[in-house]
Amino acid sequence: MTAAIALRNATPDDPGLVVRSRWAIIDTLTITRRNLLVWTRVPAYLVFTVIQPVMFVLMFRYVFGGAIHVSGNRPYVDFLMPGILGQTAAFATFGTAIALAQELKKGVIDRLRSMPMARSAVLAGRLVADTGRMLVTVLIVVGVGYAVGFRFSNGAGPAVLMIVLAMVFGLSICLIAAFTGLAIGDEESVQAFGLIWLFPLTFLSSAFVPISSMPGWLQAFANNQPVTYVINTMRALAIGGPIEANLWKSIAWLAGIFIVFGPLAVRAYKRAS
Amino acid sequence: MSQDSSGPAILVEGLTKAFGEVRALRGIDLAVPRGTVLGVLGPNGAGKTTAVRILTTLLRPDNGRAIVEGRDVVREAAAVRRLIGLSGQSAAIQEELTGRENLEIVGRLFHLSRAEARRRAVELLAQFDLTDAAGRAAKNFSGGMQRRLDLAASLVGRPKVLFLDEPTTGLDPRSRLGMWDIIRSLVAGGTTTLLTTQYLDEADELADEIVVIDHGLVIAAGTAEELKSRVGGDVLEFTVPDRSRISDAVAAVASIGEGEPHADKETGVVNVGVGGRGSDALVEAVRALDEVGVRTKGLALRRPSLDDVFLALTGHAAEDEKALTNGRRGRKRASKDTAKDAS
Ligand SMILES: Nc1ncnc2c1ncn2[C@@H]1O[C@H](COP(=O)(O)OP(=O)(O)O)[C@@H](O)[C@H]1O
Ligand SMILES: [Mg+2]
């Protein structure tokens, strides 16, 4: 019974705040490690998260790109890459929603919540792992972009900021995905629902084509939605150009999403059954 | 750890829980002495999982209280979690990970050191006959192996009280027997166990005490023997191969039995309680059936099974086992075929 004794000593009845916080961090890391391990074991996840954005880069660069005219004398690939990177970060969150819905259905979340681990760790570990996964994917896509002619032409600092913004954007979508995954709790429905709102939001934005090329009624939507603000900001950071207005609107939207969906995701997790 | 060593391992009083309009639990009382097995028996939707989820701190009850090893599941939830193990209705394992990885992660979450988590995983894999599969992804396991791995995961923290929610539902008969052996050996080690089941023979086989629940209420409690004695004596049973003659057969034996006969239109099985009049009733039944010209197979007297108990208590049969193995889960025997016998 040595293990049992060690166990009790490690987690006394009412551990102090410091001990509890330490366990919360350790448990979060354990869950993070588990989630990343699962990611590397499933080829389908790798295809969905890495190959798909790479295909998008190649398709838009070589197939559609010739027909899309962007203002100025920049190559289309410079216009395209910030858009693709924003989309990559957003689409990476499908994995978040699907994984949580699966874990909920299979009873994995029940099992974890019946254990004496930090309750926050399941959600926190999921978000940390998925953010890490997102970063890897974004960096791979940047590499592919470089191979097909894209260049950060605004300096290294803004380039790093662009990647940071892509991650913060992705994390905000991650919270929405976590909420929908836990609230809907069914893998396929969650996936379908994700497509229904995420596809229009990314395609009816400035991600792939200049908004001025869209019909008027569509412009009204595309010009005033958060994905456009974020991608315009990313584009300005990557290749230069006016940034002010888009930056503040992006920050406002992202803050709004965190404030609304952070608590909603936590609540959905607490209620999950 | 201070602990109340005198009381029962699990004590439940007046527990209620509603989901909107659905009253899943309508006032449940239970007491499980240390080191014993309580079988919670009830059909689909009876409230078994709801009760287990409350006892394992996953759900807050509306009313009443539940105490596990002297700790209140609501007010001292964290302490309760250190004392329990849960194996839920489906195998809660990460299919992409190997058997050993699954158990090691649980060990780490129980705050065992890396080496200790590893040792415990190896030990449990051996105990559950999974050593050969330790390095394989759990998705390649058979259903029985997945359930065993899930059960092993619930034991990583060496729980004092173990909750098993329908541990054999969906398993083929052989895996089911294997699971019974494993549960028996755990229980022999002194772990207090609450197991829910839809299978009457399972409760009979594994449990010291049984509570029967239906529609969120405990409708009977006792040992398997005590419950069987509720039916009051022997049961006369036979099969009518020609399904169209079932109602004739029921009419023929109606006056012989103590209660009303029960007929299953799918299997053609008719049974009726005959109290202490065993062999007389047998002779009368043969005559009566012969008179109306109904051919029967396997006419015999038998000791009442828990099936009969359930029927006597609720007026409807519990989940039909054959229906379950045929993959038609959640289906009850048509209750219109079921004679009411509330007395
Ligand atoms: N989360 C929930 N929301 C709504 N209804 C529920 C929920 N969980 C269980 N129920 C309902 O409560 C009743 C009891 O369910 P449950 O405890 O799962 O029964 P059992 O495990 O005995 O099959 C059922 O009618 C079921 O539909
Ligand atoms: Mg259930």
For every residue of chain A, which 3-state class applies, written as one string? CHHHHHHHHHCCCCCCHHHHHHHHHHHHHHHHHHHHHHHHHCHHHHHHHHHHHHHHHHHHHHHHHHHCCCCCCCCHHHHHHHHHHHHHHHHCHHHHHHHHHHHHHHCHHHHHHCCCCCCCHHHHHHHHHHHHHHHHHHHHHHHHHHHCCCCCCCCHHHHHHHHHHHHHHHHHHHHHHHHHHHHHCCHHHHHHHHHHHHHHHHHCCCCCCCHHHCCHHHHHHHCCCHHHHHHHHHHHHHHCCCCHHHHHHHHHHHHHHHHHHHHHHHHHHHHCC
The pLDDT assigned to B298 comes to 84
- How far is the C-alpha of B188 from the C-alpha of A43, rounded, in Å? 43
- Are A116 and B89 an interchain contact pair (Cβ–Cβ within 8 Å)? no
| Pairwise CA distance, residues B152 & B138, whole Å | 13
Say whether both B113 and B94 belong to one domain.
Answer: yes
Q: Whose Cα sits closest to atom 24 in ligand 1?
A: B45
Ligand 1: nearest atom to the Cα of B47: 17
Instruction: Look at residue B117 and tell me if it is in a domain.
Output: yes
CATH of the domain at B240: 3.30.70.980
3-state SS assignment for residue B234: strand
- Round to whole Å and give the CA distance between A66 and A129: 37
Q: Is B340 part of any domain? A: no
The answer, yes or no, to whether any atom of ligand 1 lies below 6 A from the CB of B197, is no
The whole-angstrom separation of Cα A86 and Cα A162 is 10
Residue that finishes a domain, picked among B176, B195, B227: B227
The pLDDT of residue A81 is: 96
State how far the Cα of B227 lies from the Cα of A113, in Å rounded to an integer. Answer: 36
Cβ atoms within 10 Å, residue B126: 12
Number of the ligand 1 atom closest to the C-alpha atom of B48 = 22
Q: How far B218 CA lies from chain A's nearest CA (Å)?
A: 24
Q: Point out the residue among B56, B96, B111 whose CB comes nearest to the CB of A11.
A: B111
Ligand nearest to the CA of B214: 1
Asked if A121 contacts A24 with a C-beta cutoff of 8 angstroms, the reply is yes
Whether B95 and B146 map to the same domain: the answer is yes
Strand order in the sheet with B217-222: B84-87, B161-165, B192-197, B37-41, B209-214, B217-222
Helices then strands, counting H and E runs in chain B, come out as 12, 14
Substitution target in B94, B97, B140, B161 with the highest count of A β-carbons within 10 Å is: B94
Alpha-carbon distance of B163 to B53, in angstroms, equals: 9
Q: How far is CA B170 from the centre of its chain?
A: 13
B71 shares a domain with B53 = yes
What is the structure's pLDDT at B1?
A: 43
In this complex, is the C-beta atom of A78 within 8 Å of any C-beta atom belonging to chain B?
no
| B213 and B237 assigned to the same domain | no
B88 contact A CB<8A: yes
Residue ending a domain, among B227, B255, B278, is: B227
ipTM: 0.85
Query: Would you call A107 and B90 a contact, using CB atoms and an 8 Å cutoff?
Result: yes
In a domain, B337, yes or no: no
Same domain, B186 and B149: yes
B324 in any annotated domain: no
**Dihedrals phi, psi of B274, to nearest 5 degrees:** -120, 15
pLDDT in tens, A146-171: 999 999 999 999 999 999 999 999 99
Query: Could B101 and A115 be called an inter-chain contact, meaning their C-beta atoms sit closer than 8 Å?
Result: no
Full residue range of the structural domain in which residue B273 is found:
232-303
Whether B341 is covered by a domain: the verdict is: no
pTM for the model: 0.82
Q: Is the CB of B46 under 6 A from ligand 1?
A: yes
Residue B338 placed within a domain: no
**Spatial separation of the C-alpha atoms in residues B163 and B147, rounded to whole Å:** 14
Which whole-number Å values give the CA distances from B291 to B135, B240, B309, in the listed order?
66, 15, 30
Strand arrangement of the beta sheet that strand B262-263 belongs to? B262-263, B269-275, B234-239, B297-302
Specify the DSSP class assigned to residue B70.
T
Which chain A residue has the Cα nearest residue B95?
A: A38
Quick one: pLDDT at residue A4?
46
What is the percentage of chain B residues whose pLDDT exceeds 90? Answer: 55
Rounded to whole angstroms, the Cα distance separating B283 from B259 reads 18
The finding on whether A273 has its CB within 6 A of some atom of ligand 1 is yes
The pLDDT tens digits for B108-144 are: 999 999 999 999 999 999 999 999 999 999 999 999 9
Which pLDDT belongs to residue B323? 38
As a whole number of angstroms, the distance between CA B293 and CA A136 comes to 79
- Inter-residue contact B103 to B120 (CB < 8 Å): yes
- Residue of B50, B53, B196, B218 to mutate, ligand 1, most atoms within 8 A of C-beta: B50
Q: How far apart (Å, rounded) are the C-alpha atoms in residues A222 and B36? A: 66
* B74 three-state secondary structure: coil
Q: Which residues of chain B have pLDDT under 70?
A: 1-6, 316-343
How much is the pLDDT for B333? 35
- CATH (domain of B27): 3.40.50.300
Domain co-membership, B76 together with B53: yes
Tokens of A201: 């939001």
Q: How far apart are the first and last CA of chain A?
A: 33
C-beta separation of A138 from A166 below 8 A: yes
Q: Does A3 touch chain B (CB under 8 A)?
A: yes
In this structure, are B97 and B68 located in the same domain? yes
Q: Are residues B187 and B293 in the same domain?
A: no
Comparing CB atoms, the residue among A30, A41, A111 nearest residue B88 is: A111
B151 and B263 together in one domain: no
Ligand 1, closest atom to CA B44?
23
Structure-token match 């849960």, residue found: B86
CB distance B22 to ligand 1 below 6 Å = yes
Residue A102 to chain B, least CA–CA distance (Å): 10
Q: Is residue B41 part of a domain?
A: yes
Q: Could you give the residue ranges of the DSSP H alpha helices within chain B?
A: 48-55, 77-81, 99-109, 114-127, 143-155, 173-188, 200-206, 224-231, 246-254, 278-291, 306-314, 321-325
Put simply, the answer to whether A111 touches B153 (Cβ < 8 Å) is yes
In a domain, B4, yes or no: no
Q: Same domain, yes or no, for B214 and B271?
A: no
Question: End of a domain among B181, B211, B227?
Answer: B227
In angstroms, what is the span from residue B49 Cα to ligand 2's centroid?
Answer: 4
Closest by Cβ to A115, choosing from B91, B93, B110: B110
Give the Cα separation of A4 and B156 in Å (integer): 9
pLDDT value at residue A46:
76
> How far is B59 from B73, CA to CA, in rounded Å?
9
Q: Which residues in B lie closer than 8 A to residue A24 (C-beta atoms)?
A: none
C-alpha to C-alpha distance for A152 and A139, rounded to whole angstroms: 13
Tally the domains of chain B: 2
User: Residue B63 in contact with residue B55, Cβ under 8 Å?
Assistant: no
Ligand number nearest CA of B19 is 1
Please report where in the chains the tokens 């173990």 appear, as a residue.
B162
Q: Which ligand is nearest to the CA of B47?
A: 1
Pick the closest to residue A20 from B3, B111, B70 (CA basis).
B111
Q: Are B271 and B254 a contacting pair, CB within 8 Å?
A: no
A271 lines ligand 1 (CB under 6 A): no
Burial class (CB in 10 A: 0-12, 13-18, 19+), B119: middle
What are the pLDDT digits (tens) for B162-207?
999 999 998 888 899 999 999 999 889 889 999 999 888 899 899 9
Task: Going residue by residue through chain A, which has 273 residues, state the pLDDT in tens, using 9 for 90 and above.
Answer: 444 444 444 445 567 888 889 999 999 999 999 999 998 888 777 777 788 899 999 999 999 988 888 887 789 999 999 999 999 999 989 989 999 999 999 999 999 999 999 988 999 999 999 999 999 999 999 999 999 999 999 999 999 999 999 999 999 999 999 999 999 989 899 989 988 999 999 999 999 999 999 999 999 999 999 999 999 999 999 999 888 889 999 999 999 999 999 999 999 998 876
Question: Do residues B201 and B247 share a domain?
Answer: no
Least distant ligand from the CA of B89:
2
CA distance B51 to chain A (A): 13
Nearest to A114 among B58, B101, B112 (CB): B58
B139 and B246 in a single domain? The answer is: no
